[in-house]
C-alpha cells in the first residue's frame, strides 16, 4: 500500500507585496529541511514569478489560486493553465468557496478548469465545503457530494488530484 504524502498548502488569497513575499519565503526557506509534508505556497498571480524564483532550489512548490477553463483566447483577466505550467507552477487551487461565492463558479466550470489544468500537467487541488446554513439543515454530505460529483464528472485522468475539504462556516470564524 502506498503511503499518502502529507501536503500543506498556503493560500495567500489577495494579500502580499514584494517585500512581504520576500520576508515570508525567506523565513520558510530558512526552515526548509526538505519538509516531510510537501509544502506549496499559492501567492497572488503578480507574485508567482517572485515566489518561483525564490523557491527554485528548494523543496517548496508554487501553485496558483485559480486558472481559466480555456488555454487561450478572448478571456480578459483570466490566466490559462498552460501559462502557469510554463512558468513553473506545479499546483492550482480550483473551486475555492470564495470563487464559488464571489464569482458564481459552478461545479461544471470547476470541472472544465480541472480538465484544462490536468491537460497541462498541473496538480489540481479541488476545494469542497458546505455553508453553515447547509450544515445546520443537515445537507452537508449532499452538498459536498454534489460538488465532488460535479467537479469530477467526465474527468479522464485524476491520478494527482487532491481534494481539500474546507467547510465555509469554519473559514476565519474561529468555529
Mean pLDDT, residues 77-89: 97
166 assigned to active site: yes
Residue 127 pLDDT greater than 60, yes or no: yes
**Among residues 96, 105, 130, 136, which one is catalytic?**
96
Instruction: Decide: pTM greater than 0.85.
Output: yes
**Among residues 53, 57, 130, 166, which one is catalytic?**
166
* pLDDT level of residue 7 (50, 70, 90 thresholds): very high
Instruction: Please state the length of the chain.
Output: 175
96 assigned to active site: yes
Q: What is the mean pLDDT of the chain?
A: 92
* pLDDT level of residue 174 (50, 70, 90 thresholds): confident
Tens-digit pLDDT profile for residues 162-173: 999 988 888 777
Amino acid at each position: 500500500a502506498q503511503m499518502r504524502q502529507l501536503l500543506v498548502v498556503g493560500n495567500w488569497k489577495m494579500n502580499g507585496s514584494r517585500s512581504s513575499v520576500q520576508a515570508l519565503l525567506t523565513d520558510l526557506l530558512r526552515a526548509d529541511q526538505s519538509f516531510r509534508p510537501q509544502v506549496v505556497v499559492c501567492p497572488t498571480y503578480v507574485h508567482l514569478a517572485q515566489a518561483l524564483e525564490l523557491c527554485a532550489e528548494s523543496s517548496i512548490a508554487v501553485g496558483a489560486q485559480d486558472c481559466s477553463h480555456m488555454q487561450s483566447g478572448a478571456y480578459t483577466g483570466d490566466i490559462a493553465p498552460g501559462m502557469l505550467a510554463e512558468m513553473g507552477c506545479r499546483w492550482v487551487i480550483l473551486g475555492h468557496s470564495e470563487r464559488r461565492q464571489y464569482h458564481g463558479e459552478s461545479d461544471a466550470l470547476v470541472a472544465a478548469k480541472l480538465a484544462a489544468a490536468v491537460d497541462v500537467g498541473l496538480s489540481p487541488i479541488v476545494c469542497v465545503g458546505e455553508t453553515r446554513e447547509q450544515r445546520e439543515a443537515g445537507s452537508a454530505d449532499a452538498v459536498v457530494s454534489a460538488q465532488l460529483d460535479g467537479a469530477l464528472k467526465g474527468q479522464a485522468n485524476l491520478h494527482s488530484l487532491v481534494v481539500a475539504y474546507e467547510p465555509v462556516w469554519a473559514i476565519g470564524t474561529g468555529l
